[in-house]
Amino acid sequence: MTTTAVHPYVASLLAGSGAVPKSPAAWLDARRAAALERANALAVPTTRDEEWRFTDLTPLTRLQFQPVAAAANVSAADIAAYAVAEAAVRLVFVDGIHVPALSQAGSLPTGVTVELLADALKKHGALIEPHLAQLVKNDNDLFAALNTAFLQHGVFIHAAKNAVLKAPIHLLFVATRKGAASYPRCLVLADAGSELAVIEDYVALGEEACLTNAVTEIAVAPDASVRHIKLQRENSQAFHIGSCAVTLAKDARYLSHAVTFGARLSRNNLSVTQAGEGAHAQIDGIALIGGRQLADTHTLMDHTRPNGTCEQSHKTIVGGAAHAVFNGKVFVREGAQLTNSSQQSRNLLLSDKARVDTKPQLEIFADDVKCAHGATVGQLDADHLFYLKSRGLPEAQARNLLTYAFGAEIIDRIPVPSLVAQLEKYVMARTEAGA
C-alpha cells in the first residue's frame, strides 16, 4: 500500500479507499491491497485502447465521485415502482449501503443462503475465499480493480447441493446522491445440481449524476443452473460500469438477461468461461437508449472444454443522438471440440444522429466446431410498416409497434411475469415518446 496513483483522476476516485475497514479475513485485505496497487498503476482507458475504442470516458472524468458514509433517506414508497412480486427475498442498497428497513427477508428453502457479504465472510470464509476477487480479473481492468479496492458492501448468495429456489432473489441498488460512487459486489455460488435466479437491479432516484461500479462473480458447479437478470435503469446523468465473470463447470447452465435502459454512459462487461465439458450459456441483451446516452456491452464467451454450447442474442434500439456499442468475443480453445456457439447482434437505428458500432469477434482454435455470428444494422423494414399500415394503423403507431416487438423478443424470454410487464410498459412508453 505504498504506491500512489499514477493517473490524477484515478487518484481522485481512490481518495476514499483508506476508509474501507479491515475485513474479518486477512486474505481479503491482501486482495484489496493488491487491487489498490493495480488501480494505482492503471490509467483511465481512452479510445486508443481497443477495449474502449468507441466509448469515450471523458464525460466521467470531468466529474468527481466519492463513496458516501451513510445511505440517504429513501422511503418504501420511493422504490415501490421497482417491486418484483415474484421475488423470494429483496435486499435494498442505497448509494451502495444496505438499508435493512427497505429490504424484505422472505422464507428461503434449506440450503439457500442470501446474506450481506460482510456477514457471510465471518461465517462462510472458506467457501468464499476460492472465488471472491478471483473470477474477475484486475490486471488490465481499472474498474474491476477499483471495485475490489473498495470491496466492502455486497451480497453473498449460495445454493447448497441440489437446493432449488425457483423464485428470483431481488437485489435493488438505488442511487440518489450527486457525486456518490458505489462499488457493490455480488458473489453467487451454485453447488452441484442446484438452481437459482438472481435479479440485479440498478435504479436511480432523481436526476443527479452518480457512479455505480459493480462487480458480480458467479461460479456454477456441475449440473447446476443460474439465471441472472441484470437491469440497469438509472437516470440519464448516471455513469454505470459493471463487470460480471462467470465460470461454468461440467454440464452447468448459465442464463443471462441484460437490460439496459438508463445511464448517460454505461458499460457492461460479461465474461463467461466454460471450464467444464458440456456447459451451456444463453446470453441475451437489450439496450434501448435515446437522447445523448451511450450504452456499451462487451461480452466474452470462452469455450475451453468440449461439447459446450452458447446462444447469444444482443439487440439495441438507438434513438436521438445516442450511441450503442457492442463487442462480442467468442473464443474456442484448442481442445474445445464439438462446441456449438452462435451470436447475433441486431441493431435498430431510429434517428439520423443515432450511431452503432458493433464488433462480433470469433477466435477459433479447434476444428470440429460449429460457430456462427451475425450482425445487422438497419431501420424498420418498409414491408413490415406497409403491412401494418394496410391494416389501418397510422404510421407512428405502426412504427412503435414494430420497435416494441423488436425489443420485446428479448424481454419476453425473462421468466418473471411482473418484471416483463414493468419492462414492456417502459419500452412502450419510451417508443411512444420517440425513444
Partner 1 sequence: MSSVLDTLVSQPYKHGFVTDIESETAPKGLNEDIIRMISAKKNEPDWLLDFRLQAYRHWLTMAEPQWPNVSYPKIDFQAISYYAAPKPKLKKSMDEVDPELLRTFEKLGVPMHERAALAGVAVDVIFDSVSVTTTYKEKLAEVGIIFCSISEAVHNHPELVKKYMGSVVPAGDNYYAALNSAVFTDGSFCFIPKGVKCPMELSTYFRINTQDSGQFERTLIVAEEGAQVSYLEGCTAPKFDTNQLHAAVVELVALDDADIKYSTVQNWYAGDENGKGGIYNFVTKRGLCKGRNSKISWTQVETGSAITWKYPSCVLLGENSIGEFYSVALTNHKQQADTGTKMIHLGKNTRSTIISKGISAGHSNNSYRGLVKIGAKAEGARNFSQCDSMLIGSKCGANTFPYIQVQNPTAKVEHEATTSKIGEDQLFYFQSRGIPTEEAVSMIINGFCKDVFQQLPMEFAVEATKLLGLKLEGSVG
Binding region for partner 1 (CB under 8 A): 50, 54, 334-335, 337, 347, 349-379
d(CA 393, CA 319): 22
Give 23 or 431: the residue with its C-beta nearer to partner 1: 431
- Return the C-alpha cell found at 302: 470462452
> What number of CA atoms fall less than 13 Å from residue 235's CA on the CB side?
14
Nearest approach, Cβ of 237 to partner 1 (angstroms)? 24
The answer for residues whose C-beta is within 8 angstroms of residue 138's C-beta and 6 or more apart is 34, 35, 38, 39, 144, 145, 148
Comparing CA positions, the residue from 240, 16, 237, 25 lying closest to residue 119 is 25
Q: Torsions phi, psi of 60, nearest 5?
A: -65, -45
Nearest approach, Cβ of 361 to partner 1 (angstroms)? 5
Nearest approach, Cβ of 407 to partner 1 (angstroms)? 16
Reduced to 3 states (helix: H, G, I; strand: E, B; else coil), residue 108 is coil
Give 58 or 376: the residue with its C-beta nearer to partner 1: 376
Nearest approach, Cβ of 341 to partner 1 (angstroms)? 9
Give 87 or 289: the residue with its C-beta nearer to partner 1: 289
Nearest approach, Cβ of 42 to partner 1 (angstroms)? 19
> What number of CA atoms fall less than 13 Å from residue 52's CA on the CB side?
19
> What number of CA atoms fall less than 13 Å from residue 320's CA on the CB side?
18
Helix 142-149 / helix 26-41 crossing angle, nearest 10 deg:
140
Nearest approach, Cβ of 377 to partner 1 (angstroms)? 4
Give 194 or 347: the residue with its C-beta nearer to partner 1: 347
d(CA 416, CA 286): 16
Give 33 or 377: the residue with its C-beta nearer to partner 1: 377
Nearest approach, Cβ of 378 to partner 1 (angstroms)? 4
Give 368 or 395: the residue with its C-beta nearer to partner 1: 368
- Return the C-alpha cell found at 299: 461480452
One DSSP character per residue, 254-313 reads: EEEEEEE---SEEEEEEEEEE-STT-EEEEEEEEEE-TT-EEEEEEEEEE-STT-EEEEE
Q: Torsions phi, psi of 122, nearest 5?
A: -70, -40
- Return the C-alpha cell found at 107: 422464507
Give 67 or 360: the residue with its C-beta nearer to partner 1: 360
Give 376 or 418: the residue with its C-beta nearer to partner 1: 376
> What number of CA atoms fall less than 13 Å from residue 39's CA on the CB side?
25
Give 176 or 274: the residue with its C-beta nearer to partner 1: 274
Q: Which residue has the cell 468475443?
A: 329
Would you report the helix, strand and coil content of the chain in percent, each value rounded to 5? 25, 40, 40
Give 25 or 375: the residue with its C-beta nearer to partner 1: 375
Nearest approach, Cβ of 385 to partner 1 (angstroms)? 13
The answer for residues whose C-beta is within 8 angstroms of residue 176's C-beta and 6 or more apart is 72, 74, 94, 95, 204, 205, 206, 208, 210
Nearest approach, Cβ of 383 to partner 1 (angstroms)? 13
Give 48 or 391: the residue with its C-beta nearer to partner 1: 48
Nearest approach, Cβ of 283 to partner 1 (angstroms)? 17
Nearest approach, Cβ of 381 to partner 1 (angstroms)? 9
d(CA 429, CA 42): 41
